Amino acid sequence: MTDAAPSPAASSLALPTPYLLFVGDVAEPGYAKTAFGLRDWAGDKCVGECAVTEDAVRIGLTRMTPAEAAAAGARALVIAVANRGGFIPESWRASLVGALAAGLDIISGMHVRLADVPGLAEAAVRHGRRLIDVRVPPADIPIASGRKRAGLRLLTVGTDCALGKKYTALALADAFSARGIDCDFRATGQTGIMIAGGGMPMDAVVSDFEAGAAEILSPDAAPDHWDVIEGQGSLLHPAYAAVSLGLLHGSQPDVVVVCHEPGRREVLGAPGYEVPSVEEVVSLTLALGRRTNPSIRCGGVAFNTSHLPAAEAEALMEQESRRLGLPVADPMRRGPLFDRLVDACLA
């Protein structure tokens, strides 16, 4: 049988846990962001990782077969990658069928529906397992109204894809809650939905309804309530800008935080396109965001410095903060720089 994600009004998305994280034959870490996201934000629900080739990306968990994972308590295999186009190649099928035979359900955030993959639906019925697609938007999304909604909203935006928008939103939501602020993390991608237990798969929504989907995701709230909304794509990505703009207009953020990876030169998945500057993204985001929220402002910048030593990262962020006139912090390192970013967002 197949299950789809519930409408955004539903309180939760009941997924079978713990997970075995399947990375297939994906070698580029940027395309394994679902695996890393679940490892980092739902690690207590992950028992291991599974691949079909030795050179597939490693996320630091124990490599297991589906049978070994089932014996260790796993209840589902999660297709934990997001390749270009969101398809499931033929080379993965034997492993997926093997997972069903081992007694695991399959959870997918890919664009292709699991039941449409040859052999999977039949194998699921044969073994009494479920195929669960989370990248399925509700059928009744309205056209955006543009009506200003009550409550406060923060949206993470990026200079590129896969560089920290989800991690930043989760870290900020945690920080807000730790200060006693009424706050919700609003997931907009498959990984965030798996972590939060609900949300809106924005890149699976037809373009005319993108802003309307964002309005549904973040409804009217109490005046002092914050929705921290996970960003998608980049306004200057040659392939994915449309979802970013619809999310910006529909979420009507009061505050945006620009996410950037220092040292990244080319846009992910678009060779020959340079990553735009932080300043360019700040300027463009505010200009376009004013269309639905004239009071939009930039609260600061989140750097992904995972590739830098701590001292070098801190010096760089201090330098860039002075240059930009904005707080700059790595949300995963936390510390005083991150506290400064949180202060600026809430100011």
Listed by start position, the domains of the chain span 2-133, 152-346
Write down the pLDDT at residue 145: 96
pLDDT value at 29 more than 90: no
Write down the pLDDT at residue 10: 32
The answer to whether 195 and 333 have CB atoms below 8 angstroms apart is no
pLDDT value at 4 more than 60: no
What digits encode the pLDDT tens for the residues 73-110? 999 999 999 877 778 999 999 999 999 999 999 999 99
Write down the pLDDT at residue 13: 67
From the CB of residue 126, how many other CB atoms can be counted at a distance below 10 Å?
11
Alpha-carbon gap, residue 50 to 68, rounded angstroms: 10
Domain 2-133 matches domain 152-346 at the CATH topology level: yes
- Banded model confidence at residue 267, pLDDT cuts 50, 70, 90: very high
152-346 belongs to CATH 3.50.50.60: no
Secondary structure (H, E, C), 258-291 = EEECCCCCECCCCCCCECCCHHHHHHHHHHHHCC
Q: What's the CATH number of domain 2-133, 1.20.1050.10, 3.10.25.10, 3.20.20.140, 3.40.50.720?
A: 3.40.50.720
Residue 2 in tokens: 């197949």
